[in-house]
Structure 1
Amino acid sequence: MMGPVLAACLLIILSTAWISQANEALCKKDGGVCSCNNNKNSVDCSYKKLTAIPSNIPVETTELRLKYNSLSKLSPTAFHGMKELTYLGLEGNRLQALSAGVFDQLVELDRLELGRNQLESLPPGVFDHLTKLTILGLDQNKLQSLPHGVFDKLTELKTLSLNVNQLRKVPEGIFDSLSSLSTLRLQSNPWDCSCRDILYLRDWIDDNKDKVTGAQDAACGDQQSKAVLDITEKDAASDCVSPNTTTAIPTSTTTPASVIYDDIHEIKVPQENFQKFLGYQEPDHLPTQPQCLMSISGYLGLMMSLMLTSAAILYVFHFLKKA
């Protein structure tokens, strides 16, 4: 009777190993490109030239770093199921737009970093479900406007970075719900101080000088370079309808050579459906060579585990039949 018992134990061990491999195939120790710290539920996929987010990130992950990759867009379901995330780092990618609802399931998120991308606008309500957020980085993008009420639900927000964008005005009342805010970065935007719309921002800065980093550095975009804080009603006499968005300013600072990938050739997989086969979420972007090696390794390991599991099951049936 020891045969079936041993076989059952073998089956349990193999099943456990298979589940572990399925959950951790993206980690370096399993042939993947990301670094994982299971004790802290942290996954670091930074500086990997990723064009898509791996689909096998464990749902219990609390910290996910994807900074300085080649992500140009995010699927609306990119972070679905990751309800334990408290930190999400997406800075230093090529994001041009955000899908509505992309962050809706991240209800525990405390910090969201979206700086150093190419965002020109934000969808209305994109942050509405992030009610526990305390840090939001939107610096060094190409934001030309902000939706009305985009920060209204962020009552716990302490730090908001909007510096180095192309903002010429903000909607009236946009900062009024930020009751916990202690740091607001506004510098290096071409603020239009000729329109009455600027008076809300002027008054808000005047009432919250201790919260605005470099209040005098929030300067008008004209040649006078006058601080928004010093604008008078006479200066802002025009009733502007639409902001002029032709004024451009630098949207990034010097980037270390280690994070510049434009001159590095990426080997693309020619088959159009291969990415779906490997389990990536965004079929519009084919995986790079490291991603393919990661996924093939995981696939071969999975097939081996299934073969061993099948053999163990047959072994159990054989002894049970003899018994």
Structure 2
Amino acid sequence: MDLLLFFGAVFLASGVQACPKVCICVARRNYSRHIADCSYKDLHTVPVGLPSNATTLTLSVNRIASLQEDSFVDLGSLQGLWLSYNEISTIGKDTFGSLAQLRNLDLSHNQITDFPWQDLRNLTALELLKFSSNHLEKVPAEAFSTLKELRSLWLDNNRLALLSEGTFDSTPLLSLLQINNNPFHCSCKLWWLKQWLKGTSVSTPEKESITCETPKDLRGHVLGRTLALDCTLPSVQLTYHSILDNSVLPDGLSLLLDCGAVGNPLPEIGWRIQTSGQTVAINGPNAEEGDSLAAARTEEAPGRFRVFKNGSMAILKFSKADEGVYTCRAVNDVGSREVSVEVALSSSENAADDLLRNDIQASRPRSQPCDKDELSQPEEKLVVIYLTPMGSKAATNGGMLWGPWQWGRWIVLFSVALYP
């Protein structure tokens, strides 16, 4: 009896809690590490009754097919979780969300197609993450955004055709990245990865196996070496016109801003309007197919900011309330650039007086030149529309009509930005 009590006391002193019969639980290094080894047990589910103070849990080489929200709910001290060589295809949301101390997570050699990427947000201590040899088809751009301690990331032997630009930007300590043996589609959307692989200090083993699967004419090309992609960032030019055509509206001034962009692939153009009273984003044409500029100015046309397929934008009945920054943004698969112009309406005889009085900061010149290979911040320039009162006029030939407050002339104080 005394001997039984003695072994019981030793068991409690060791810090080892209850352990499932199929597992081996041990404490090491002055009891700071508590290991639960349940590998090679032909398990179909995560066993219940695991010690809550376990710091390492090994479930590798079993037949586990799914993980649920409560699979590890009582294991908040885990630092290492090893699940390789199972049959995992389903992982419930919040399965790993409570494992804030986790440093190593190995899910390699399973059948994972969809992963609850939001679970990674709480795993800020994670240093190693292995997804090798699964069926992953996509990884969200923000998947690793909180993993500041991540050093080793394994995404090899999956079904990834694309990785979004910036996927690895939030992992400053990353030193090893495995992305080989994926069926990459080598379009301009992957141009950034080609450039990243050429310049990164992160170790990327088996680079000869980071190849294109599609398109057919690029199959087998090594992404960081032999691949040639004809891709260029957009360049943007913003110009303006004082009238939309050869007529002048009798009920107010109209302004046309032309945004021209080139790049490969051809960029898509959107606009952002920031005035003192509102911010408006227009991400594509809102004028109907076949609309003319003159038709856009009619009362029947919805909205006062009309964007056309060629990138032009008409501001109808321009007034003081429309003063502000007008930004044209060009986007293609390689990246984006934008250029802005600040428009102000002057009603005085001396536009320079208005500038001094309003102290418009956008007219300050750039301090440094723009690097054409960088995604630059927009350069703001200033255009002042100088409105001069004029008397009523009527053309005898049925032509234009002039109202008492039609614009008389334009003054351009700075040229509009052009990105190379």
TM-score, normalised with respect to structure 2: 0.49
| In 1, Cα distance between equivalents of 2:64 and 2:12 | 29
* 1:76 aligned residue: 69
Q: CA deviation at 1:121?
A: 2.3
Matched residue, 2:196: 204
What amino acid sits opposite 2:229 in the alignment? Answer: E
Alpha-carbon displacement from aligned partner over 1:161-200 (angstroms, at most 9, x marks no partner): 111111000122111101000000111001101x221112
| 2:18 aligned partner | 24
**Aligned residues: CA RMSD:** 2.9
Give distance in 1, aligned partners of 2:11 and 2:178. 48
**What is the match of residue 234 of structure 1?**
230
Residues 107 and 132 in structure 1, CA contact (< 8 A), matched pair in contact too: yes
Q: Which residue of 1 aligns with 2:44?
A: 51
Distance apart, 1:204 and its partner CA: 1.7
CA contact (8 A) 1:63 1:86 kept: yes
Larger RCO of the pair (alpha carbons < 8 Å, separation 6+): 1
Q: Moved runs in structure 1, 4+ residues, more than 4 A? A: 15-20, 235-239
Q: Which runs of 5+ in 2 are unaligned?
A: 233-263, 267-420
Read off the aligned partner of 1:150 and give its amino acid letter.
A
AA aligned to 1:53 is: V
Q: What is the Cα deviation at residue 25 of structure 1?
A: 4.3
8 Å CA contact 1:116, 1:141 repeated in 2: yes
Corresponding position of 2:126: 133
Query: Between the two proteins, what is the percent identity of the paired residues?
Result: 26
Larger Rg, first or second structure (1 or 2): 2
In the comparison of the two structures, how many residue pairs are matched?
223
Q: What's the CA shift for 1:203? A: 1.9
| Matched residue type, 1:204 | W
Higher strand content, 1 or 2: 2
Contact 2:141 2:164 (8 Å CA) reproduced:
yes
Given the superposition, is the C-alpha separation of residues 87 and 124 from structure 1 closer, same or farther in structure 2, using an over 3 Å criterion? closer
Q: Give the corresponding residue for 1:271.
A: none
- Deviation, 1:155, is 0.8
Give the letter for the 1:226 counterpart. Answer: H
Helix, strand or coil at the partner of 1:225? coil
Q: 3-state DSSP class of the match of 2:153? A: strand
CA distance in 2: counterparts of 1:18 and 1:188, whole angstroms: 48
2:177·2:202 contact (CA, 8 Å) conserved in 1?
no
Give the structure with the larger helix fraction.
Answer: 1
**Counterpart AA for 1:37:** V
Q: Tell me, yes or no, if the aligned pair for 2:97 and 2:122 is still in contact at 8 Å.
A: yes
- Per the TM alignment, residue 75 of structure 1 is displaced from its structure 2 partner at its CA by 1.1
* Partner secondary structure for residue 122 of structure 2: coil
- Aligned partner of 1:99 in structure 2 is 92
- The SS at the match of 2:193 is helix
TM-score (norm 1): 0.63
SS in structure 2 at match of 1:216: helix
Structure 2 vs 1, CA of residues 238 and 70 (structure 1 numbering), >3 Å: closer, same or farther? farther
How far the C-alpha of 1:208 sits from its partner, in A, is: 1.1
Distance 2:196 2:139 in 1: 16
| Equivalent residue letter for 1:81 | D
* Residue aligning to 2:319: none
Question: Residue 50 of structure 2 aligns to which amino acid in structure 1?
Answer: I
In structure 2, the partner of 1:60 is 53
Q: Match for 2:162 among 138, 156, 169?
A: 169
Partner of 1:309: none
Equivalent residue in structure 1 for 2:208, among 209, 216, 231:
216
Q: CA deviation at 1:221?
A: 1.0
Read off the aligned partner of 1:24 and give its amino acid letter: A
**Corresponding residue for residue 35 of structure 1:** 24
Aligned-pair distance for 1:19? 8.9
For structure 1, list consecutive stretches of 5 or more residues without a partner in the other structure. Answer: 1-8, 27-31, 240-323
- Counterparts of 1:61 and 1:107, CA distance in 2: 14
Q: Within 1, Cα distance between the matches of 2:211 and 2:201?
A: 14
Partners of 1:91 and 1:160 lie apart in 2 by: 15
Corresponding position of 1:275: none
Q: Distance in 1 between matches of 2:202 and 2:34?
A: 36
